[in-house]
Amino acid sequence: MKEFELAIIHSGFAAGPVFDADLTRVKTDPSADQNESYNPEHEMTLYNRAVDSLDRELASAAEKADRNSRDIYETERLLLKDNAFSETVRELITEKNMNVNTAVEHAGNVLAQKLAGNENAYIRQRSSDITGVTERLLEILRGEGTNTLKVPSIIVSEELNPARLSAIAPSLILGLVTEKGSMTSHVSILAGNMGIPYLYGSREALEAVRASEKAIIDDKKLITDPDEKTYGEALRRMWEENERKQSQKRRQKEDSAGIDEKIHTKVYANIAGTQDIPKLIASGVRGVGLFRSEFLFLDHNGAPSEEEQFEAYKAVAEAMNGKETVIRTMDLGSDKKTNWLPMPAEKNPALGCRGLRLSLKEQDLFRTQLRALLRAAVFGNIKIMLPMVTSVREVEIVRSILENCAEELSNEGIAYKIPSLGIMIETPAAAMIADELAKAADFFSIGTNDLTQYTLALDREAQGLEAFYDPYHEAIFRLIKITADAGHKNNIPISVCGELAGQPNAVKRLIECGVDKLSVSLSKVDETRLQVVKAEAELENRRVEKDAEQSPSIAAPADGRLIPMEDIPDPVFSAGTLGECVGIMPDSGIIYAPCDGIVSGVAQTGHAITFTASDGREILVHVGINTVTLAGRGFKVLVQEGSTVSKGEIVMEVDLAVITEAGLSPMVITALLS
């Protein structure tokens, strides 16, 4: 039994048999090309069949996956059908007389090496994806591969990719261990979406686990070839944790029902398109905090038309039935590029033409989107949000374009509505001038993913620097606080729509910073609601304790039996109309000052006195129920308006017999006026 400490991509616990995915990798035999019966047409037929088979496999995986995973599988399908790849295979078969296996392997190597040499980190990572597509094609051509896995196992490999992972049913994957890995790789995202623990980073550990029949993943610890006792305890723990997770999910679903009415911080949902509408409605969220409209552009072979966009935005707005629906304008550029929109090669795309910068550069495309949004706003509570804003001037330009688009629609006789215009705070520059931006925008939404990247000067796509990427860095929360303060000063709401909003350890801190809304993925809505309840309760308890420490106590104005507010026989008091209060059924007619302060008011009939405490609180002492009808009989007030009093000082003498003989209650009520 050996233990290794590895880098964590996704933490968790797993125990089970080991499956070496690299054993299925095909070794081609170039000598097979020298065959008298070689038939290029037959080899191409084998290739096309393998492509069709893998395409169906990826399509099936995409159909069963959530939105983020679905996009990854669809990207793999595009790589599979890449013209350069297919054409290279065809040339090698028809002109070089290579068999299909050798041709596929060679074409894959050529394209993977080309991508690996690209300056863009995101494109470099796609090198692994094309390698995965190649390997899976070779497995299919040989008629075997990773789908030979039959029992739930811990998958080990030098490097994994979506195409190879798609061949394995998620229920059979207990955990992943690889030598190479990245926090931002497609396999990392898939593993996170499936809740699978994932460790990487050590050739020695990989070789050790390969040589084991079974293994254990425990957070960042990998145990290879465990003894029977250790393994048995691990299996029991895994079963118990699975049961606990299922039970927790059921409780979260039950507990979150109707919870929105009990919390001040609103929980909204992040969505990517109309396909999320069923889950969106089922979640019952108060609104959509982020509709990522760029997926309408990424999912097309060309720019989506105004009508296509209008129908998509309208569908979500109508489904939300008047609830707030924030639609972000196309956030293209950096790691989100399309084949149909030419973009210049950039050494660092994250700092280049992306987000609003690209929209203002491609104004025909942008105007089409804005027209669609203006039209859709007629059908619901749509709000427009701009990504990557760094100056007031940018917001002013967009407002001018919006007004121009509205004028066009008006001239064309098309119904429209100009929605609220908000901006994303994603850079330190935007956070530091939030007070100026708040005067130009209608709301703020903080994108913590990019804000973290730019604040820490750390490319999210960079490999080997995961230990330095800290979304909980104090600088991030300080910038959020600056933004929230500036927004509230100008009466505009603040939301967070980045990954941090859905992290249990961050919810309370974000609320403390002044965030009004948290917008999270649909899968995290229920959990985030419960985290908000917990955080708000803790913060309220802390506030009450602090107030109690700082504020002078209020003394009872009479000796006697305490009566709860809801039992006071006067709806003005029992309903809390005047503020929180309490009653006392008095033992005597002596009434005391409830605090140190000044007498700020004395009723003309003498039955009530108002005090202003030294901390500014207004306190009413009201003697009897409906005793105003006595017109002062039975009351002797010993102070006058403006008198300074000390807590416990006698301020009134009351003849209780006069009150009771009149058939009235002598109850003394103390109210903290609101």
Beta strand ranges found along 1-58 (DSSP E): 2-5, 7-10, 13-20
**CATH no., domain 260-339+347-542:** 3.20.20.60
- Share in percent of the chain as helix, strand, coil (round to 5): 50, 20, 30
Q: Distance (Å, rounded) from C-alpha 448 to C-alpha 463?
A: 20
Q: Distance (Å, rounded) from C-alpha 422 to C-alpha 438?
A: 9
CATH architecture, range 560-673: Distorted Sandwich (2.70)
| Window from 186-190, 358-362, 648-652 with minimum mean pLDDT | 186-190
Q: How confident is the model at residue 610 (pLDDT cuts 50, 70, 90)?
A: very high
Q: Where in the chain is the domain with CATH 1.10.274.10?
A: 2-29+39-248
Q: Which CATH class is domain 2-29+39-248?
A: mainly alpha
Residue 433 has pLDDT above 50, yes or no: yes
444-446 and 420-425 as β-strands: parallel, antiparallel, unpaired?
parallel
Q: Where in the chain is the domain with CATH 2.70.70.10?
A: 560-673
Between 2 and 298, the higher pLDDT residue: 2
> Which pTM value belongs to this model?
0.56
pLDDT at 461: 61
Q: Average pLDDT in the 47-53 region?
A: 86
Residue 623 has pLDDT above 80, yes or no: yes
Q: Which residues contact 278 (CB under 8 A, 6 or more apart)?
A: none
Q: Average pLDDT in the 546-574 region?
A: 84
pLDDT at 66: 61
Q: How confident is the model at residue 61 (pLDDT cuts 50, 70, 90)?
A: confident
Among residues 529, 469, 527, 521, which one has the least CA distance to residue 69? Answer: 521
- Which range among 253-257, 338-342, 344-348, 415-419 has the greatest average pLDDT? 415-419
Residue 164 has pLDDT above 80, yes or no: no
Please give the C-alpha separations between residue 583 and each of 247, 567, 568, 645, in angstroms, as whole numbers: 45, 8, 7, 22
Share of the chain above pLDDT 70, in %: 87
pLDDT at 541: 81
Please give the C-alpha separations between residue 215 and each of 226, 383, 446, 540, in angstroms, as whole numbers: 6, 51, 41, 46
pLDDT at 269: 93
Among residues 241, 232, 231, which one has the least CA distance to residue 197? Answer: 241
Q: Where in the chain is the domain with CATH 3.20.20.60?
A: 260-339+347-542
The pair phi, psi for residue 408, each rounded to 5°, is: -60, -50
Q: Average pLDDT in the 401-419 region?
A: 96
Cβ distance 124 to 113 under 8 Å? no
Q: How confident is the model at residue 33 (pLDDT cuts 50, 70, 90)?
A: very low
pLDDT at 253: 57
Helix (H) or strand (E) holding 215: strand 214-218
Q: How confident is the model at residue 248 (pLDDT cuts 50, 70, 90)?
A: low
| Window from 20-24, 491-495, 504-508 with minimum mean pLDDT | 20-24
Q: Average pLDDT in the 226-235 region?
A: 91
Half-sphere exposure of 390 (CA within 13 A, CB side): 14
153-157 and 173-178 as β-strands: parallel, antiparallel, unpaired?
parallel
pLDDT at 289: 95
Q: Average pLDDT in the 538-556 region?
A: 77
User: Residue 480 is encoded by which pair of tokens?
Assistant: 């959020």
Q: How confident is the model at residue 620 (pLDDT cuts 50, 70, 90)?
A: very high
Q: Which residues contact 13 (CB under 8 A, 6 or more apart)?
A: 197, 217, 218, 219, 234, 237, 238, 241
Among residues 162, 110, 173, 155, which one has the least CA distance to residue 136? Answer: 162
- Which range among 19-33, 126-140, 171-185, 486-500 has the greatest average pLDDT? 486-500
Tell me, yes or no, if 186 is annotated catalytic: yes
Residue 189 has pLDDT above 80, yes or no: no
Residue 359 has pLDDT above 50, yes or no: yes
Which residue in the list 106, 405, 497, 607 is annotated as catalytic? 497
pLDDT at 169: 77
Between 549 and 507, the higher pLDDT residue: 507
Which residue in the list 10, 106, 186, 607 is annotated as catalytic? 186
Between 590 and 42, the higher pLDDT residue: 590
Residue 86 has pLDDT above 70, yes or no: yes
Residue 342 has pLDDT above 90, yes or no: no
Tell me, yes or no, if 497 is annotated catalytic: yes
**pLDDT averaged over every residue in the chain:** 85
Q: Average pLDDT in the 266-292 region?
A: 88
Between 444 and 244, the higher pLDDT residue: 444
Q: Average pLDDT in the 219-223 region?
A: 90
Q: How confident is the model at residue 146 (pLDDT cuts 50, 70, 90)?
A: very low
pLDDT at 294: 87
Q: How confident is the model at residue 68 (pLDDT cuts 50, 70, 90)?
A: low
